[in-house]
Amino acid sequence: MSAERPFAHAVAPLSGASSHVLADDPERRFRLRCRYVETGRLAFLSHLEVAATLERVVRRARLPFAVSRGFSPHMKIAYGAALPVGIGSVCEIFDVTLTDYVPADQARAALRAATVPDLMIEQCAYVEPRAKAASVAYPFSTYEVRLSRPVDGLVVPDEVRIVRKRKERVLATADYLRGSFVPGPFVPDGPLGLADGVNGCGAGADSPAAATGDCAESEGRVVAAVDGVSAGGWTAAAEGALVGGRAVAAEGALADSLDAAADGALAGGRDAAAKGTLAGGPNAVDGSSADTASACGNAAASAVFHFTLEAKPTGSLRPDVLLRAYLDGADDVRVLSVTRVEQRAEAR
Amino acid sequence: MSTLTNLWPQVAPLVAAAERPSRYIDHEWGCVRKDDADFHFCMIYPDTYEIGQPNQALRILVNAVNARSGMAAERGFLPAPELCDELRRAGLPLFSVESCAPVREFDVVGITLPHELAATNVLEALDLAGIPLHAADRAESDPIVVAGGPCAFNPEPYAPFFDAFNVGEGEEMLPEGLEVVRTMRAQGAHRADILRALADIDGWYVPSLYRWRDEDYARETGAWIEPLVPGIPTRIEKRLYKGFAASSGWEPCIVPYTETVHDRLNVEVLRGCARGCRFCQAGMMYRPVRERSADNIVDAVERGLDATGYDEVSLTSLSTTDHSQIADILTRLNRRYEGSGVRVSIPSQRLDSFGAQMATLVAGRKKGGLTFAPEAGTQRLRDVINKNVTEDDLFGAVDAAFAAGWRRCKLYFMIGLPTETDEDVRGIASLLARTYERARDAVAPDQRGAVKISASVALFVPKAQTPFQWDGQIPPEEALRRVNLLRSSVRYRAIDIRWHDPATSFVEAYMSRAGREGAALVEEAHRRGARFDAWTECFNGDAWRAAAEALGVDMDAVAQTSYPSDYVLPWEHISTGASRRWLVRERRRAECGKSTPDCTFGPCSACGVCALPLQENELASPRVSGEAGEDAVADACERATDGSTPAESASDAAGSTDSSSSTAPEGGVQ
C-alpha cells in the first residue's frame, strides 16, 4: 500500500501518470531542466526576484513538484548562475524536481501558460538526477553588448577594480575573459539549445512521442547531457502566452528603446546588428587569438560586440563591471543592452 | 478617445540606475491592460511600491473600476525618495505603473489615505505629478483628485488638496462616481458641475461646496462646515458595501516580482470588529461585522493559490480568530495543503487559549513568534479602554502557546491612555514579568533559556470617530518619562521593551484631530522637506516644528487638549454610523471603568450602525466565546477527522506535530 502522496491534493498530474509514490523516493524523482529568457524590462529583475517568480510559475503550472522534507519545507528547484540586474538573457536555466513523470513538452506548455512573455520558458528536457547543478554546469557565458554608437580606440582593461562590502579587490581580466571582445552579434554554431547533444530520451524532449514512450519505460531515468544553452535556432515564441484569462501587459517591449536590443537578439534583430558590425569597421576578427588588450580594443570598434567570461569557483567577473571599466571615459556612449546569449560547459 | 503618453523611454535610464528597479517595470503576473478604454483612473498609494502594492484597497478598487466597460484603472506609487529627486532633476513627472503615463493625464486620480503620516506624501505625489496642490487651482484639463481610506473619516486637514472624498467602503461608491465623471466629461461639463453632481452620491464629500467656519458656528449648528449651495448633505454617512459577505473571498491580485511588505496571498475573511476597544478607529469605521462563509473562504484560498502561485496565504481581517467558523476553516485548509509547502497564517491572535489553539492549528513545526495585544497593564485600565480580556485570558493563551512549542511572544501595549497613572505603567512591567514566569514554567527546564518576551509600546493617539476622540495625547516628554519608568520596572533580561518615537505619534495625533486649517501646516511641512514621515529614517520632525512656528500653529493644543464631550469636533459632519450619543456614552463608561460587551457575542450596545436599512452584523454562524468556543474547536477537529479516510486521519494526527505550515509573525494588533 502506498501512502497518500503529500502533494496529491495540490496538484493534478498533467499526464496520464497516476502512480502514487513517496515524495522522497529518490528513484522516482524526475529532474526537469528548463531554459527560459529574461527579456525586455524583466532584465531588471534580481536573481532572488527571478527565483521567487519561477517558483510561483511552477506552482501556477501545477507541475507535480517535489517538496523538501526539512524543518522548513520548500520546492525542490535550483537555479543557474545568477544574472546581474539589468542584464537580459536568452539562455537562463532552472531545474525543478518532479515526483511524477510529465512529458517534457507538456511541462513546457504548462509552464509557458503560467508565465509572462518576458520570462518565457523556451525548452524543457529531463536531465540525469545526478547531473551537475545548473549553477555550476555552464561556467562559460557569452554576453552580447549593444551600444548607442560604435566606439573606437577603447581598450579592454587588464585589471578591474571592484568594491564589495567596502573591500576593494583587483581582478585580472585575463583570468576571466576567454578570447576577447568580438565585434558583431553572437552567432551560435547551429541550432544549439537544450536538446542539442542530448542522449537517449532527452533527445525526445521536443518530440512528444519519444518522450512519452521510451522515458516512461526506462523508469524515468532520463539522461540528457547538455553541452550548452543558447537561444540557438529558437525564436522567442512569446505569442502563445495567455495569462489566466486576464489581459497581460504584453505591450511591445520592442518599442522600448532600452529593450529593443534584447529582443533583437532573439528575433530578426540579427540583421540590424550586422549593420552595426559594418559601422564598426572591417576588422571583424575572432578574438580568440587576439589576447592583447589593444587588439581587443580594435576588434570591438563596433556598436555591437560580444565576449565570453568564465565563472571560477573562487568568484567571477561581472560582465557589467567589465563593461563599465571598458567604457570608462566614453561618457556619451549609452549601453543599450547586455544580453547573455550562451552558457557552455566547456570553452569553445 | 484619449491616449496616454508612454514615458518609459525617458524613465528607463533612471529606473536602470535606481535601487530595486523591478518596482517600476510593470509586467507583473495578473496586471490588467485595457487598451480600448476611453476613461482612465489612476489609483495611487502614497508610498513606495513594496509598501503599497499589497494594499487591499488598491487591489479591490483597481479591480472594481476595471470591471466597468470602457474604464481602465492603473496603479501609481511614489518612487523611492532618491528616484523622486532624480525624476525632478530630469524634468519627468510621477508616472503610472501600467502605461508608464504621466499621472496628470488621467481623468481621475484616487489617492488612498492609509494613515496620518502619509499626509506629506500626498503632496509629494501631487507635486511630482505636476498637478496643482490645491483643488481650487486646478484647470478643466487637470484630473479630478479623489481621496479615500481611513483618514477620509477626518478629511479636513486634507480638504484643500482634494476635489472629493470617498467616505467608507469604495467597492460601489467609487465606480458610481467615476461613471458620473465620465458621462459629464463626455458631455463637456465643467469641473464645478461635475463636483456638484458627485456630492449627490452617497458617501461622496466635496469639501469645496462647504465653507469652513469656526468653533462658535460649530457649537450652534453641530458642525464646522456650512453648505455653500442648496441641496447638499450636511452630514456624510459612510458608504457600506452590503454585498461583502456574499461576495467571493477571491479578489484577483497582482503578483509582484520584488518582495513586498505582505508577500503572500491575502484573503479577507471578515470585515469589521465589534469588540469595541475605545481607542480603535478601525473598530468604529468598519462596523457592522460581516463574515464570509467557511466554504467561500476555503474556495477563495484554493483559487487564489492556484492563480497566483503563492506558497503562503494570510486570512486577513481585524480579528480573524473571532470568525464564527475559524476552527473549521483552519482545519480544512490544513488538511488541504499539508505537505505542499503552503503556509497558512493569521495576522494576530485572540487573547485567550482559543487564540493560542488557533495559532497552533496553523503553526506546524516552525514556530516563530506569537503576537498578543493586551494594550494595558492593569485590569482597571483594560476596563477603561474596553479591552475585554483578563490576566487569566492572557495567561491561558501563554500557557497554551508555550506548551505547544512557542518560545517567543510579543505583547503590544499603549501608554498615555486616558486615565493612565504610573501604577498602570508599572502594571505593564508586572504583567510582563508574570507572563514571562508563566511561559518559563510551561516549557522544559533545559529550554527555559530560549523563552523571550518582547513588548512593543506605542503612544496613545486620539483617533477621530472613537470614544477617545475628545481625549488629548500626553506630551512627548511625558511619554518618554513613562517609557523609562516602564523600562526601569522590568525585572527580567528575557523581557525586551521596544517603543515608538513619540515625535511621530505627536504628528499622528495632530493630523488625526486637526481641522481644515491643518492643511496649511501639511503644505508648509512638505515645502520644508517633510515626506515619507512613516519611515523612521525619513521622519523630519524639524520640518514640522519649523512649519508650525512659521505659520503660528499650536500643534500641542490640537494634539494634547482634552475636551468635554459636548465639544463639537472638526469631523462631526462625517459619520461612521456610530452615533455621537453612543460615543459619548462609551466615553462616560470608560471614565467609570465599565466595559461594554461585543455585540457579536453578547447583547447589542446600540452604537447606531445597524439603524440603517440592510445594515447589520452578518455572521456565518453564531459566535461563541470562552470555553464554549474551545468545545467548538474540538467539535470542528472531530468533524474534520470523522469523515476522512484512514490515510487522511493519519496525516491529520501527524499534522499536529509535523505540519508544514507556519504562523508568520505579522504585526497585527487585536
Q: Which residue has the higher pLDDT, A71 or A208?
A: A71
Q: Kindly report which listed range (A168-172, B48-52, B282-286) carries the lowest average pLDDT score.
A: A168-172
Residue of A nearest to B302 (CA): A10
Instruction: Look at residue B597 and tell me whether its pLDDT is greater than 60.
Output: yes
What pLDDT score was predicted for residue B647?
A: 35
Residues in B closer than 8 angstroms to A248, CB to CB, are: 27, 29, 31, 33
Q: Distance, in angstroms, between B23 CA and closest chain A CA?
A: 9
Interchain CB distance below 8 Å, A247 and B342? no
Residue contacts between A and B (CB atoms, under 8 Å): 124
Mapped to the 3 state alphabet, what secondary structure does B181-217 carry? HHHHHHCCCCHHHHHHHHCCCCCEECHHHEEECCHHH
Instruction: Look at residue A138 and tell me whether its pLDDT is greater than 90.
Output: yes
Query: Closest to B340 (Cβ–Cβ): which among A7, A243, A255?
Result: A7
Interchain CB distance below 8 Å, A59 and B305? yes
Interface test with B, best of A20, A21, A41, A96 (most B CBs within 10 A): A41
Other residues' Cβ atoms within 10 Å of the Cβ of residue B99: 24
Measured CA to CA in angstroms, residue B348 lies from B302, B359, B387 at distances of 22, 9, 15
3-class secondary-structure state, position B599: coil
* CA dist., res. A295 & res. B589, Å (int): 88
Interchain CB distance below 8 Å, B339 and A6? yes
Residues in B closer than 8 angstroms to A23, CB to CB, are: 339
Interchain CB distance below 8 Å, B9 and A257? yes
Q: What rounded mean pLDDT belongs to chain A?
A: 69
Q: Distance, in angstroms, between A305 CA and closest chain B CA?
A: 21
Instruction: Look at residue A189 and tell me whether its pLDDT is greater than 80.
Output: no
Query: Closest to A57 (Cβ–Cβ): which among B309, B648, B660?
Result: B309
What pLDDT score was predicted for residue A28?
A: 64
Do the Cβ atoms of B428 and B455 come closer than 8 Å? yes
Residues contacting A337, CB < 8 A, separation 6+: A43, A88, A144, A145, A146, A258, A259, A260, A261, A262, A265
* CA dist., res. B540 & res. B145, Å (int): 26
Measured CA to CA in angstroms, residue A109 lies from A102, A115, B615 at distances of 11, 10, 49
Interchain CB distance below 8 Å, A256 and B336? no
Q: What is the mean pLDDT of residues B242-254?
A: 96
The order of strands in the sheet holding B265-268 is B265-268, B312-316, B343-345
Residues in A closer than 8 angstroms to B31, CB to CB, are: 248-249
- What is the third-level CATH fold of B8-167+170-237? Rossmann fold (3.40.50)
Q: Distance, in angstroms, between A285 CA and closest chain B CA?
A: 32
Query: Closest to B340 (Cβ–Cβ): which among A52, A67, A256?
Result: A67
Residue of B nearest to A1 (CA): B647
Residues in B closer than 8 angstroms to A10, CB to CB, are: 336-337, 340, 342
Domain span(s) for CATH 3.40.50.2300 in chain B: 8-167+170-237
Do the Cβ atoms of B453 and B433 come closer than 8 Å? no
Interchain CB distance below 8 Å, A56 and B31? no
Residues in B closer than 8 angstroms to A37, CB to CB, are: none
Q: Which residue has the higher pLDDT, A163 or A261?
A: A163
Residues in A closer than 8 angstroms to B6, CB to CB, are: 255
Angle at B193 between CA B192 and CA B199, to 5 degrees: 90
Query: Closest to A4 (Cβ–Cβ): which among B26, B309, B647?
Result: B647
Residues in B closer than 8 angstroms to A62, CB to CB, are: 306
Q: What is the mean pLDDT of residues B597-609?
A: 92
What pLDDT score was predicted for residue A129?
A: 86
Residues in B closer than 8 angstroms to A49, CB to CB, are: 22, 257-259
Interface test with B, best of A5, A50, A59 (most B CBs within 10 A): A59
Instruction: Look at residue B12 and tell me whether its pLDDT is greater than 70.
Output: yes
What pLDDT score was predicted for residue A292?
A: 33
Per-residue pLDDT tens digits for B154-189? 999 999 999 999 999 999 999 999 999 999 999 999
* CA dist., res. B322 & res. B326, Å (int): 7
Interchain CB distance below 8 Å, B22 and A45? yes
Interface test with A, best of B340, B345, B365 (most A CBs within 10 A): B340
Residue of A nearest to B67 (CA): A246
3-class secondary-structure state, position B378: coil
* CA dist., res. A226 & res. A134, Å (int): 10
Task: Identify the band that residue B356 occupies on the pLDDT scale cut at 50, 70 and 90.
Answer: confident
Secondary structure letter of residue A28 according to DSSP: G
Instruction: Look at residue A251 and tell me whether its pLDDT is greater than 50.
Output: no
Other residues' Cβ atoms within 10 Å of the Cβ of residue B550: 13
Percent of chain A residues past pLDDT 70, beyond the cut: 59
Domain span(s) for CATH 3.80.30.20 in chain B: 265-517+553-611
Which residue segments constitute the domains of chain A, with CATH numbers given?
26-137+193-226+232-240 (3.30.70.580), 140-188+266-344 (no CATH)
Instruction: Look at residue B127 and tell me whether its pLDDT is greater than 80.
Output: yes
Instruction: Look at residue B257 and tell me whether its pLDDT is greater than 50.
Output: yes
Do the Cβ atoms of A304 and A184 come closer than 8 Å? yes
Interchain CB distance below 8 Å, A73 and B660? yes
Interface test with A, best of B5, B298, B660 (most A CBs within 10 A): B660
* CA dist., res. B221 & res. A266, Å (int): 71
Query: Closest to B340 (Cβ–Cβ): which among A10, A86, A255?
Result: A10
Interchain CB distance below 8 Å, A9 and B34? no
Give me the sign of the Cα torsion angle B11, B17, B21, B23.
negative
Residues in A closer than 8 angstroms to B302, CB to CB, are: none
Residues in B closer than 8 angstroms to A243, CB to CB, are: 29-30
* CA dist., res. A27 & res. A100, Å (int): 11
Q: What rounded mean pLDDT belongs to chain B?
A: 91
Interchain CB distance below 8 Å, B33 and A9? no
Residues in A closer than 8 angstroms to B340, CB to CB, are: 6-7, 9-11, 67
Interface test with A, best of B22, B263, B308 (most A CBs within 10 A): B22
Residue of B nearest to A53 (CA): B257
| CA nearest to B389, candidates B420, B363, B354 | B354
Instruction: Look at residue A291 and tell me whether its pLDDT is greater than 60.
Output: no
What pLDDT score was predicted for residue A200?
A: 28
Interchain CB distance below 8 Å, B309 and A55? yes
Interchain CB distance below 8 Å, A10 and B337? yes
Tell the burial category of A294 from Cβ atoms under 10 Å away from its Cβ (0-12, 13-18, 19+).
Answer: exposed
Q: Distance, in angstroms, between B403 CA and closest chain A CA?
A: 19
Interface test with B, best of A39, A48, A60, A99 (most B CBs within 10 A): A60
Per-residue pLDDT tens digits for B541-555? 999 999 999 999 999
Tell the burial category of A29 from Cβ atoms under 10 Å away from its Cβ (0-12, 13-18, 19+).
Answer: middle
What pLDDT score was predicted for residue B368?
A: 75
Residue of A nearest to B13 (CA): A258
Task: Identify the band that residue B668 occupies on the pLDDT scale cut at 50, 70 and 90.
Answer: very low
Instruction: Look at residue B284 and tell me whether its pLDDT is greater than 80.
Output: yes
Query: Closest to A4 (Cβ–Cβ): which among B307, B336, B651?
Result: B651
Residues in B closer than 8 angstroms to A60, CB to CB, are: 29, 306-309
Q: Distance, in angstroms, between B260 CA and closest chain A CA?
A: 11
- The second-level CATH assignment, the architecture, of B265-517+553-611 is Alpha-Beta Horseshoe (3.80)
Residue of B nearest to A87 (CA): B16
Task: Identify the band that residue B87 occupies on the pLDDT scale cut at 50, 70 and 90.
Answer: very high
What pLDDT score was predicted for residue A230?
A: 59
* CA dist., res. B491 & res. A150, Å (int): 71
Instruction: Look at residue A157 and tell me whether its pLDDT is greater than 60.
Output: yes
Q: Which three cell numbers stand for residue A318?
A: 561581472
Per-residue pLDDT tens digits for B431-464? 999 999 999 999 999 999 999 999 999 999 999 9
Q: Distance, in angstroms, between A346 CA and closest chain B CA?
A: 32
Task: Identify the band that residue A229 occupies on the pLDDT scale cut at 50, 70 and 90.
Answer: low
Instruction: Look at residue A171 and tell me whether its pLDDT is greater than 60.
Output: yes
Instruction: Look at residue B636 and tell me whether its pLDDT is greater than 60.
Output: no
Residue of A nearest to B17 (CA): A86
Q: Which run of H or of E encompasses A159? A: strand A159-164
Residue of A nearest to B662 (CA): A72
